[in-house]
Amino acid sequence: MMGVNMGYEPGPRHRVIKKYAWAPIKTNSNKWIWFNEYYKIQTFYDENGKPPVKTLSWNVILNKNEHLIWTIKNPVR
């Protein structure tokens, strides 16, 4: 069948960015990170495929241990 799924790949749902906190940064669990590595997770659309209304992505800031738990709960598919 011509034209069905001709190389279509949906965009990524999440992007994980590893950063270093030179200044104090507050995580989503209300903990402060300073002079340590942290992870910024950008979510571009939810489970239903809807994007955020006000910005381009939802941002979550996690420390190393929280990121480990997040990685275990959200495996790469």
Instruction: Please list the residues that pair with 5 across neighbouring strands.
Output: none
Torsion angle of the four alpha carbons 27, 44, 19, 75, in this order, in degrees rounded to the nearest 10:
90
Question: Any idea which residue has 């989503």 for tokens?
Answer: 28
Could you give the CA distance from residue 47 to residue 6 in angstroms, rounded to a whole number?
Answer: 24
Confidence of residue 3 (pLDDT cuts 50, 70, 90): low
Query: Strand 32-33 vs strand 37-43: parallel, antiparallel, or unpaired?
Result: unpaired
- List, in sequence order, the alpha helices (H) in the chain: 64-73
- pLDDT above 90 (res 72): yes
Confidence of residue 27 (pLDDT cuts 50, 70, 90): very high
